[in-house]
Amino acid sequence: MVQLMLESMVQEGSSTSIRGEAGDCLIVMNSFEFIFILYLMHKIIRIIDLFYRVLQQKSLDILNAMDFVSATKALL
């Protein structure tokens, strides 16, 4: 979706600076480093989301919470 929009901007942009910036964004978005960083961010956010959901449970005692914090640190 975003890639199609950027490709359209490269072809039909109103100025050369807009076309150039859109082209640069396409190059960066297709790089391995960008995709790898997105993949890592997705993994980290899933772990953190699970962490917050578990810690919000009222039945969680302090010892289990501390164990869960340690396990989450090891995962990250």
Domain boundaries, the chain: 1-30, 36-76
Place of tokens 């962490």: 51
- Distances in Å between the Cα of 62 and the Cα atoms of 52, 56, 69 are 14, 12, 10
**3 alpha-carbon distance from chain centroid:** 17
Count how many residues are written for the chain. Answer: 76
What b-and-e string marks burial along 38-57, b requiring 16 or more CB atoms within 10 Å of the CB?
A: eeeeeeeeeeeeebeeeeee
Residue 37: its pLDDT value, please? Answer: 93
Q: Quick one: what percent of the chain has pLDDT higher than 70?
A: 99
Q: Name the pLDDT band for 39 (thresholds 50, 70, 90).
A: very high
Residue 54: its pLDDT value, please? Answer: 81
pLDDT in tens, 42-58: 999 998 898 888 878 77
